[in-house]
Structure 1
Amino acid sequence: MTKPTLTLDEIRKNVSRVDSELLALLAERRQLSIEVAKSKIQTEKPVRDPAREKILLEKLVTAGKKHELDAPYIVSIFHSIIEDSVLIQQAFLQKLANPDSAQPIARVSFLGPKGSYSYLAAKHFFSRKQTTLAELPCKSFKEVVEIVENGRADYGVLPIENTSSGSINDVYDQLQHTRLSIVGEITQPIEHCILTAVDTDLENIDCLYSHPQPYQQCSEYLRSLGDVKQEYCSSTAEAMQKVAEMKSGNVAAIGNASSGALYGLKPLKANIANQQENHTRFILVARNPVDVTDLIPAKTTFIMSTAQDAGSLVECLLVFRNHGINMTKLESRPVLGNPWEEMFYVDVEGNMSSEEMQKVLEELTSLTRYIKVLGCYPIENVSPTEIELD
């Protein structure tokens, strides 16, 4: 057997050296992204250029072959780098468009103690903005909203829909009555695990603790466990706290593995959601709306109530089609106190300040009994540019 020319320690040192060089290069590339954003202000070019991204990826794949790097590996890495570049540019441009909202510390309310999915979404969102969080955990969605309304928090983070369990109706009902504006969004991967405080086996678990949403999102796996009791908590983080305090081999929590580690919990079973691609979309609410520069893609959310006549809703939806506005979400909720009357929540891709969206709002105002814009905010879900792989 041929002896290696380097010892394992020497190889590891070289790996660490290369990793350090990669980090320095990534930092340099991120700084160059800011310079790109500055130049786009002068040229009034949009942040995203799909044709340019496609050419870039194709060149990188070709160059990677010379280094014996396969195409999927190259594309996966640079999808992440391009996403980061887009979001960094958007955050920079939004700071310029909203100088009064730029602050080094943000007071943020969210559901559950530290470690909840709302907490993770808040951390993720503000890490992109290089803003420090002052965390304000809440016991209900209503409290999340009220704390922002009374000025104790600058922002509130609310989950609004999940790819597995659908819309979160409690949040839509809060939006119907609040004075707050939606100022941002983030889509967070949801990775549910069975978490325990002590070493045990699955067959020993007779009681689970979690928020109602994870129970819905993991219903297929939970049926396979048989007669296991389900206890409801106000958040996944509260469930983790309870299981950590019990230190029993018979109980477990459903939640995120990294959050569980905050409470000394270990994953007993991972990937238990009904869908492998399980994501939750969160919105960010604040007392004042934000301006969205026309250099970045924007989304507008509003609520409307139509006449109780046949075809009333269809007439409203045709307004979007006639103006070439893409509707991404339509949700109905009952109007409290008015039996059989529905309030419709609508998400569209469009900037409220644009001439086209102003025409849409004007037409909808004449067709509806009630309409209110809940917010216009940057789209932060960066769809990857696809290329053909050999």
Structure 2
Amino acid sequence: MTKPTLTLDEIRKSVSRIDKEILALLTERRELSIEVAKSKIQTEKPVRDPVREQALLEKLVKAGKEHGLDAPYIISIFHSIIEDSVLIQQAFLQQLTNPDSSHPVARVSFLGPKGSYSYLAAKHFFTKKQTSLAELPCQNFKEVVEVVENGTADYGVLPIENTSSGSINDVYDQLQHTRLSIVGEITQPIEHCILTAVDTDLESIDCLYSHPQPYQQCSDYLRSLGNVKQEYCSSTAEAMKKVAEMKSANVAAIGNASSAALYGLKPLKANIANQQENHTRFILVARNPVDVTDLIPAKTTFIMSTAQEAGSLVECLLVFRNHGINMTKLESRPVMGNPWEEMFYVDVEGNMRSDKMKLALEELTALTRYIKVLGCYPIENVTPTEIDVD
């Protein structure tokens, strides 16, 4: 006798039951991640253990195959689980290291209004920290910085570089003069779409609204549209708001599809960026610096001005090599009021607590005309552990 076939409703009930069990297990695993962090305080072991992660993935892939699950599926799931565990442990350890910087509600300024990419980055960052967000939209980057400086906001979120359009110079110029410290970073995927308020087609669009950065990041696609006028807005959210108010079949905005729903817009064309892997790195600034525990990977950002002599910059860069410090970013910007003089912005992988960073900064101080540390902060980008898959 054949087994009776389950109805669709019965199948869905079984799937829902399994999903609830998975969520309960993920919650239990998160709680164990905190216990792991507590044990690492006692043993002084770093949060990440690449050898352990690699062995774990290999074991899981082998076990998965016994259940008929392919390796890429298992690796994808557990990369996300490991990333979550690492970030949960880092946040826990940082909270212990900086007890005064913990806020149940964080007042955060960003280039707004609500729905901009800066807003999405702020929301993403503080959701990971399980902190509620009090939103303070701003008209420009200068205002984002000023409201943190005057105490109206606890933090400011600023885009610093994009994989497609490069560095965001306006933000670097703000960092040159601010008293604020960089206390965190987050990398946000940027998914540009053509967004409209009414049903229309691409051939009808003769005017686009957006922030200048998306125009740069989508330049290849925009050229294919022909003679379409580009109107500049202070943010992608402002562009979406304008298009929503106009309700015209010949205008559209460039922005994020999930944010478009806030303004009643819908995507007409998705994935229009020059690069499919389009990401923006955002930094978090605050009035006071944070102390980064030795147990988690850290990044230090500083600015420096070298002597106007041949080889001065090279001499400074050799300091990092001599101390085994990896430099991840070098950006130059003109010094306002001093023609032909440049300020260099430098990101390195290193903790201000470490002896090699202290020695490197001492040597740089002797070699440069001016140097200022903008911040030492946790590296939030968790690089997936790779394994060989047969």
TM-score interval, smaller chain: over 0.9
1:86 aligns to what?
86
Residue in structure 2 matched with residue 222 of structure 1 by the alignment: 222
TM-score when normalising by structure 2 = 0.99
2:28 aligned with 1:25: no
- Per the alignment, in what secondary structure is the counterpart of residue 248 of structure 1? coil
Letter in 2 for 1:298: A
Using the alignment, how far apart are the partners of 2:13 and 2:138 within structure 1?
46
Q: In structure 2, what is the equivalent of residue 193 of structure 1?
A: 193
Deviations 1:332-381 (A, max 9, x none): 00000000000000000000111111100100000000000000000000
Corresponding residue of 1:206:
206
Quote the Cα distance in structure 2 between the aligned partners of 1:230 and 1:14.
51
Partner of residue 264, structure 1:
264
1:330 alignment partner in structure 2:
330
Alignment of 1:311 with 2:311, yes or no, is yes
Hey, what does 2:386 align to over in structure 1?
386
* 1:62 equivalent in alignment to 2:84: no
Distance 1:203 1:7 in 2: 46
Q: Map Cα deviations across residues 167-202 of structure 1 (whole Å, 9 max, x no partner).
A: 000000000000000000000000111111111111
Gaps spanning 5+ residues in structure 2: where?
none
1:1-390 to 2 correspondence within 5 Å? Answer: 5-390=5-390
Distance 1:385 1:364 in 2: 34
Please report how far the alpha carbon of residue 3 of structure 1 lies from its aligned counterpart in structure 2 after TM superposition: 9.6
Q: RMSD in angstroms over aligned alpha carbons?
A: 0.9
Structure 1's consecutive aligned runs of 4 or more residues displaced over 6 angstroms after TM superposition are none
2: CA distance between counterparts of 1:103 and 1:177?
27
Name the SS of the counterpart of 1:122 in structure 2.
helix
1: CA distance, partners of 2:59 / 2:316 = 45
Task: Report percent identity of matched pairs.
Answer: 89
2 CA distance for matches of 1:62 and 1:43? 30
**Segment of structure 1 superposing worse, 7-16 or 300-309:** 7-16
SS for the counterpart of 1:361 is helix
In 2: Cα distance, 1:275 partner to 1:55 partner: 34
Residue 367 of structure 2 aligns with an amino acid whose one-letter code is L
Deviates more, 1:245-254 or 1:156-165: 245-254
Cα deviation, 1:203-226, whole Å, max 9, x if unaligned, reads 111111100000000000111111
Deviations 1:79-125 (A, max 9, x none): 11100000000000000000001110110000010000000000000
Q: Which runs of 5+ in 1 are unaligned?
A: none
User: Following the alignment from structure 1 to structure 2, what is the Cα–Cα distance between the partners of residues 114 and 18?
Assistant: 36
How many pairs were matched up? Answer: 389
Distance 1:220 1:178 in 2: 36
Deviations 1:145-164 (A, max 9, x none): 00000000000000000000
CA distance in 1, matches of 2:272, 2:17: 38
Structure 1 CA distance for aligned equivalents of residues 8 and 203 of structure 2: 41
